[in-house]
């Protein structure tokens, strides 16, 4: 059975108490199904609440939205990979477009974060994706390839632990999505990039993100290249999220 991941990026929504309430309702409706995984990326302060509420339920994974590349130090406001792990994270997003375009994170920093996560046995979910003008100029694959360079130098064993989320910037929070065919083309390119570095095609997990909602998730997941979805807006409402996962 192929892997199907439903990952919710809560961004700067839902504090610890909201998160506990969300999980209570969600889990009352949740039944584990083979091959389906539900990942939650809450705000850092809500990580322990989500991890405790999930209580190791089958098919549920908890992750941080961001980490620093150093393990500790004078970096006010940051959290490190080992801290995220201590708070209950098993994974973390890296290079989300909001980190890149609002906070100015570079591919070099993104690469260091991936390595920090791997050092601490956390699964990196590396987000890549082009801006609208880059797509219009036909530069999508070139941009994605440039962002994948954050993984340069990792061996096949390390690369095999990385999940990629293809999230076209123009589709995030805008109500626009890539068509399943457009997304599949980019996913195929990413899969080939990993295969050229020794990771078997079936072992590379690639999510699609960008305005995924209950009414458009099915055709996206029907595309064999798409192993799951990374969802922002539609993941913070428990009714919508439960419906999507169901
Ligand atoms: C995201 O934040 O990763 C995302 C895809 O957001 P949205 O679903 O709101 O477009």
51 neighbors 88 (Cβ within 8 angstroms): yes
What local confidence, expressed as pLDDT, does residue 196 receive? Answer: 97
Dump pLDDT digits (tens) for 97-110. Answer: 999 999 999 999 99
| Residue corresponding to tokens 């941080």 | 64
186 neighbors 220 (Cβ within 8 angstroms): no
- This prediction's pTM: 0.97
Summarize the confidence of residues 161-190 as an average pLDDT.
Answer: 93
Instruction: Determine the distance separating the centroid of ligand 1 and the alpha carbon of 211, expressed in angstroms.
Output: 6
Locate the ligand 1 atom nearest the alpha carbon of residue 165 and give its number: 3
Locate the ligand 1 atom nearest the alpha carbon of residue 127 and give its number: 3
| Average predicted confidence (pLDDT) for the chain | 96
Residue 233 pLDDT more than 90?
Answer: yes
Query: Distances in Å between the alpha carbon of 210 and those of 24, 48, 171?
Result: 27, 27, 4
Vertex 77: Cα angle to 76 and 83 (nearest 5): 100
Give the CATH number of the domain where residue 174 resides.
3.20.20.70
Question: What band does 174 get if pLDDT is binned at 50, 70 and 90?
Answer: confident
H-helix or E-strand containing 116?
helix 107-119
Whether residue 210 has its Cβ less than 6 Å from ligand 1: yes
H-helix or E-strand containing 187?
helix 180-195
In the chain, what's the furthest Cα-to-Cα distance?
A: 47
Residue to mutate, 132, 167, 207, 213, ligand 1, most ligand atoms under 8 Å from C-beta? 167
Question: What band does 175 get if pLDDT is binned at 50, 70 and 90?
Answer: confident
Whether residue 230 has its Cβ less than 6 Å from ligand 1: yes
Q: Which domain, by its residues, includes 103?
A: 4-245
| Residue corresponding to tokens 């029907």 | 222
What local confidence, expressed as pLDDT, does residue 212 receive? Answer: 95
Residue 1 pLDDT more than 60?
Answer: no
Active site residues: 96, 167
What local confidence, expressed as pLDDT, does residue 176 receive? Answer: 83
Summarize the confidence of residues 130-142 as an average pLDDT.
Answer: 95
Summarize the confidence of residues 126-153 as an average pLDDT.
Answer: 96
Dump pLDDT digits (tens) for 7-28. Answer: 999 999 999 999 999 999 999 9
Tokens of 154: 């990792």
Whose CA is closest to 112, among 73, 157, 143, 149? 149
- Rounded Cα distance between 56 and 48, Å, is 12
Residue 192 pLDDT more than 60?
Answer: yes
Tokens of 139: 């530069």
Q: Which residues pair with 228 in a beta bridge?
A: 5, 207
Question: What band does 56 get if pLDDT is binned at 50, 70 and 90?
Answer: confident
Give the chain's domain count. Answer: 1
**Closest C-alpha to ligand 1, atom 1:** 232
Instruction: Determine the distance separating the centroid of ligand 1 and the alpha carbon of 198, expressed in angstroms.
Output: 30
Summarize the confidence of residues 156-163 as an average pLDDT.
Answer: 97
């Amino acid at each position: 059975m192929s892997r199907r991941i439903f990952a919710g990026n809560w961004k700067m929504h839902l504090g610890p108490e909201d998160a506990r309430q969300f999980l209570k309702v969600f889990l009352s409706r949740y039944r584990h199904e083979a091959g389906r995984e539900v990942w939650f990326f809450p705000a850092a302060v809500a990580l322990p609440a989500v991890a405790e509420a999930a209580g190791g339920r089958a098919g549920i994974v908890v992750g941080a939205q961001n980490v620093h590349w150093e393990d500790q130090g004078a970096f006010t406001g940051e959290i490190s990979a080992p801290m995220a792990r201590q708070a209950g994270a098993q994974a973390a997003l890296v290079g989300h477009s909001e980190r890149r375009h609002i906070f100015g994170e570079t591919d070099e920093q993104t690469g260091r974060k991936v390595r920090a996560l791997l050092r601490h046995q956390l699964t990196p979910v590396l987000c890549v994706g082009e801006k609208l003008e880059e797509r219009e100029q036909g530069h999508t694959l070139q941009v994605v390839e440039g962002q994948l360079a954050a993984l340069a130098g990792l061996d096949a064993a390390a690369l095999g632990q990385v999940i990629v989320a293809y999230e076209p910037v123009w589709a995030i929070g805008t109500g626009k999505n890539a068509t399943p065919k457009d997304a599949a083309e980019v996913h195929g390119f990413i899969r080939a990039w990993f295969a050229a570095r020794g990771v078997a095609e079936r072992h590379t997990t690639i999510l699609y993100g960008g305005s995924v909602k209950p009414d458009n998730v099915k055709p996206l997941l029907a595309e064999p290249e798409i192993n799951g979805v990374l969802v922002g807006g539609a993941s913070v409402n428990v009714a919508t999220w439960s419906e999507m996962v169901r």
